[in-house]
Amino acid sequence: MTDVLIIGAGPAGSTAAAFLVQQGFKVLVLEKQRFPRFSVGESMLPASMHFIEKAGMMEAVMAASFQYKDGAVFHHNGKEHVFNFNQKFTPGYGFTFEVPRDTFDKILIDEAEKQGVEVRYEVEIIAADFTDGKPVVTARNKDGSTEVHKPRFVLDASGFGRTLPRLLNLEKPSDFPVRSALFTQVYDFIPSGAFDRQKILVTIHPERYDVWYWVIPFSNGRVSMGCVGPDDFLQKHQGTPEQRLWAAVAEVPSLKELLKNAKPANPVTEARGYSANVSSLHGPGWALLGNAAEFLDPVFSSGVCIAMKSADLASDVLGRQLRGETVDWEKEFSEPLKVGVETFRGFVEHWYDGGLAAIFFHPNKQEKIQRMICAVLAGYGWDRNNPYVGVGKRRLTALVEASRL
């Protein structure tokens, strides 16, 4: 009998599967698509490296020759601020990678499979029932046939598919305004020295704090690039998605210059209204991981880190439950997960009101505070020793107000 059925083989699903199989459970991952498959979200955070290591996947990730990443650069109107992750306040990994997600996600799930997880592709979960806390899950195969699974527990790691939130009516609107992203990968042909390939580049629009651009360098001569903004900005440009993205880039002279030799590698994709929330992260017989639960915003590249943190917390609570212990999912899963999610939420809110730009570009920065901010940007959003971590953003707001003066 399957102990745990996991919906989806992205980073949340593959790491949760490894954490559970390592505890001796029988784990089945059902994935709708065939891997490798494209996914947006290519910039990792150093804090994720702890989960990759714990999942026993570090050697395979290290061997993949991904682009080394040790920081983030923020640009606005000729000003630049560089965060070096090795200067962060919180101890732990100070580097990570920029990864084409098709390759990265496949490495992680293949590693989970090598550890004993059963993985099946092109199988989509289409119905779920949890009467009396006993999961009954219906899956549809590629040929249209269906099958029913009765595992002891279900973890939904279906990302933007949001399978259980849809099927169990758990969806709740996000508090954030609707924003969209236009993004692609290009062969960048950026001359060597013009750009630090070991850092993600985030550029704020010259006139608007609510419009920003990412450039994420890979080790294969390509960069991922994208523009995020509200509808009134992204819809004002007419034409194909390609024309609209490049028109948005043309409004930022430094970025236009950096990408002047770029040649398309992928079509331009548009994602709209991706922020999402749910009324509960768990219930009898199920729990939600990663994006299936909540997605805040792409700006600080926190998506995969939160996904892996949720996998780590859930697999610990679930392991104990399956061994017969009484557990409290709210206190031991939801509440600890929310510490980091709320930390990032405060940062996202002050990103879009220009508050973080005031901190980043302030002429007299306090080194210790910068190191604390740097730790959160490196993904250490759960470190209670950092005063900028935790539920509520009072301290960050105070710093923003002081920096705006």
Ligand X SMILES: Cc1cc2nc3c(=O)[nH]c(=O)nc-3n(C[C@H](O)[C@H](O)[C@H](O)COP(=O)(O)OP(=O)(O)OC[C@H]3O[C@@H](n4cnc5c(N)ncnc54)[C@H](O)[C@@H]3O)c2cc1C
Q: Which is nearer to ligand X, 11 or 390 (CB)?
A: 11
Q: Terminal CA-to-CA distance of the chain, rounded, Å?
A: 63
Among 20, 32, 49, 403, the residue binding ligand X under the rule CB under 6 A is 32
Angle between helices 394-404 and 335-352 (to 10 degrees): 20
Binding part of the chain for ligand X, among 185-193, 251-259, 300-308, 350-358 by CB under 6 A, reads 300-308
Find the DSSP H helices in 22-119.
Answer: 48-54, 58-62, 101-114
Q: How far is the CB of 402 from ligand X (least distance, A)?
A: 29
Q: Is 43 in the site for ligand X (CB under 6 A)?
A: yes
**Distance separating alpha carbons of residues 234 and 213, to the nearest angstrom:** 12
How many whole angstroms separate alpha carbon 7 and alpha carbon 61? 23
Residue 40 as a binder of ligand X (CB under 6 A): the answer is: yes
Nearer to ligand X, 64 or 362 (CB): 64
| 226 SS3 class | strand
Q: Which amino acid is at 349?
A: E
- Is the distance from CB of 46 to CB of 93 less than 8 angstroms? yes
Options 22, 39, 96, 370; binder of ligand X; rule CB under 6 A: 39
The span of 87-95, 248-256, 304-312, 351-359 binding ligand X (CB under 6 A) equals: 304-312
Q: Check residue 67 for interaction with ligand X (CB under 6 A).
A: no
* Cis? peptide before 135, omega within 30° of 0: no
Q: Is 339 among the residues that bind ligand X (CB under 6 A)?
A: no
**Options 5, 18, 42, 318; binder of ligand X; rule CB under 6 A:** 42
| Comparison of 3 and 42: residue with beta carbon closer to ligand X | 42
Q: Hey, which bits of 99-188 come out as E strands?
A: 118-121, 123-129, 136-141, 146-149, 153-156, 171-172, 179-187
In single-letter form, the type of residue at position 363 comes to P
Residue carrying structure tokens 């470190």 = 383
3-state secondary structure 293-342: HCECCCCCCCHHHHHHHHHHHHHHHHHHHHCCCCCCHHHHHHHHHHHHHH
Query: Minimum distance between the CB of residue 194 and ligand X, rounded to whole angstroms?
Result: 22
Closer CB to ligand X, 290 or 355, in the complex: 290
Nearer to ligand X by C-beta: 148 or 398?
A: 148
Smallest distance from the beta carbon of 182 to ligand X, in angstroms?
9
Comparing CB distances to ligand X, the nearer of 15 and 403 is 15
Per rule CB under 6 A, is residue 9 in the interface with ligand X? yes
CB of 201 to ligand X, least distance (A): 12
Name residues contacting ligand X, limited to 166-205 (CB under 6 A).
181, 183
Report the nearest approach of ligand X to the CB of residue 15 (Å): 8
Nearer to ligand X, 30 or 255 (CB): 30
Evaluate whether 152 touches 1 at the Cβ level (below 8 Å).
yes
Q: Which tokens go with 344?
A: 């990032």
**290 makes contact with ligand X (CB under 6 A):** yes
The pair of structure tokens assigned to 372 is 């604390």
- Please, which of residues 253-272 interact with ligand X by CB under 6 A? 271
Nearest approach in angstroms of CB 133 to ligand X is 21
Q: Which of residues 154-173 bind ligand X (CB under 6 A)?
A: 157-161, 163
Identity of the residue numbered 388 = Y
Least distance (Å) between residue 367 CB and ligand X: 27
Nearest to 346 by CA among 400, 292, 304, 384: 400
The residue ranges that bind ligand X (CB under 6 A) are 7-13, 30-33, 39-43, 124-125, 157-161, 163, 181, 183, 226, 271, 274, 290-292, 295, 298, 301, 303-305, 307
